[in-house]
């Protein structure tokens, strides 16, 4: 089996050089593309309110303006590049470096990406959605304050944050839909640093939990399954709760600053690392050919595809593909 490995200790291949975002012009082009794709997608899906659309547009336009206003240096060091990440609560710009790449070539000459590792992330810009009080949110979305507080209590505004005695809600948090939407919660880094000292009563089982998913029973809407991924076990722990118990648990998770919900940006987290607005994984799947690899020198022979693997922190391998964990 033939394969190729690259590290940042070796010369930068041409197929890497041609795709990296390294100057202000490319950053502006990619950020404008992100704005267009995001807003066009919202229009096409037609799932959100006008207020949500306006909040997203304001965020992305503010990000573009920040790039315009900031003195962005042109990167000349090999393997270093800019990367834009759209998060559930905003969008940010980082400077990163690629450390390792690995590819496999099948008998037909097709190139398969085996994975990559990167490091050295330095934050340059971080724009987040404005956080509204209950009164401001109610006014922006045309509802009563008491309705907003009911939504929070019932676990429908999962990105709400309790600061002191007051609730703050990202302006991108859209009005909840009718019925129950599956709840997904994970722990942030601060939780893992302080896990032993955080009071978790009346839910001590959370101490050994990494992620929580809450499903509604399709036949009996008053029954919910709480699935907890336990740190020390491959098998998740499951609990059953009724509506009041589930609401109480979700209110606890929302009001505790160590938990992240599935967030306000329902489109999910996306990373743009190439100058044509793609992630590295998309680019390596479609933009790298055997000719590109052969320009860098002879490949390596391996007994099996796993000998081409690297330390793939944060990834799992399934057949010929590399996936993010989770």
Average pLDDT, the chain: 86
Mean pLDDT across 81-101: 92
What whole-number distance in Å separates Cα of residue 324 and Cα of residue 322? 7
Structure tokens at 74: 């042109």
pLDDT of 304: 59
Confidence of residue 299 (pLDDT cuts 50, 70, 90): confident
Q: How many Cα atoms sit within 13 Å of 203 on the Cβ side?
A: 20
Residue 63 DSSP one-character state: H
Name the one residue in this structure whose structure tokens are 């336009």. 61
- pTM over 0.75? The answer is yes
Residues 213/182, Cβ–Cβ less than 8 Å: yes
The pLDDT tens digits of the residues spanning 229-283 come to 887 677 889 999 999 999 999 999 988 877 777 543 344 578 999 999 999 988 9
HSE of 326, CA atoms in CB hemisphere, 13 A: 13
**Do residues 216 and 121 lie in contact, with contact meaning Cβ atoms separated by under 8 Å?**
no
- 325 pLDDT above the threshold of 60: no
Q: How is the chain split into domains, by residue range?
A: 2-129+267-324, 131-178, 181-246+259-263
- 246: which residues sit within 8 A by CB, 6+ positions away? 155, 214, 224, 226
> Does residue 127 surpass a pLDDT of 50?
yes
Q: Which residue is listed with tokens 């007051």?
A: 166
Which of 55 and 319 is assigned the larger pLDDT?
55
Q: What is the average per-residue pLDDT within 25-35? A: 97
Q: Which strand ranges, in their side-by-side order, compose the sheet holding 166-170?
A: 131-133, 166-170, 161-163
Pick the range with the lowest mean pLDDT from 41-50, 89-98, 246-255, 294-303. 294-303
Q: Which of 146-160, 183-197, 225-239, 310-324 has the least mean pLDDT?
A: 310-324
Please tell me the predicted confidence (pLDDT) of residue 196.
Answer: 76
Rounded Cα distance, 203 and 225, in Å: 15
Q: What are phi and psi of 299, to 5 degrees?
A: -80, -170
Looking at residue 312, its pLDDT comes to: 39
- Distance in angstroms (rounded) separating the CA atoms of residues 214 and 239: 9
Residue 201 in this model has a pLDDT that exceeds 60: yes
Per-residue pLDDT, 313: 40
Q: Which among 173, 181, 177, 179 is positioned nearest to 140, based on CA atoms?
A: 173
């Amino acid at each position: 089996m033939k394969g190729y490995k690259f590290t940042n200790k070796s010369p930068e291949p041409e197929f890497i050089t041609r795709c990296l975002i390294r100057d202000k012009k490319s950053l502006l082009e990619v950020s404008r593309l992100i704005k267009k794709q995001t807003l066009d997608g919202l229009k096409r899906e037609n799932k959100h309110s006008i207020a949500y659309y306006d909040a997203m547009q304001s965020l992305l336009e503010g990000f573009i303006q920040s790039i315009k206003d900031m003195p962005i240096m042109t990167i000349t060091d090999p393997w270093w590049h800019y990367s834009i990440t759209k998060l559930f609560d905003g969008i940010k710009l980082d400077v990163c470096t690629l450390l390792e790449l690995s590819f496999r070539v099948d008998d037909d000459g097709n190139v398969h990406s085996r994975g990559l590792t990167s490091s050295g992330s330095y934050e340059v810009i971080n724009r987040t959605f404005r956080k509204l009080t209950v009164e401001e949110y109610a006014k922006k979305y045309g509802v009563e304050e008491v309705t907003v507080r009911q939504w929070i209590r019932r676990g429908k505004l999962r990105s709400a944050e309790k600061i002191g005695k007051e609730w703050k809600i990202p302006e991108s948090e859209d009005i909840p839909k009718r019925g129950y939407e599956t709840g997904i919660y994970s722990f942030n880094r601060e939780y893992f640093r302080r896990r032993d000292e955080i009071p978790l009563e009346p839910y001590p089982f959370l101490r050994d939990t990494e992620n929580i998913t809450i499903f509604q029973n399709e036949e009996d809407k008053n029954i919910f399954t709480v699935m907890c991924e336990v740190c020390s076990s491959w098998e998740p722990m499951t609990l059953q709760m009724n509506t009041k118990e589930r609401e109480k648990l979700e209110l606890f998770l929302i009001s505790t600053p160590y938990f992240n919900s599935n967030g306000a940006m329902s489109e999910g987290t996306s990373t743009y690392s190439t100058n044509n607005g793609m992630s590295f994984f998309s680019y390596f799947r479609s933009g790298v050919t055997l000719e590109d690899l052969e320009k860098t020198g002879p490949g390596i022979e391996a007994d099996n595809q796993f000998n081409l693997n690297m330390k793939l922190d944060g990834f799992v391998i399934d057949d010929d593909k590399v996936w993010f964990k989770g």
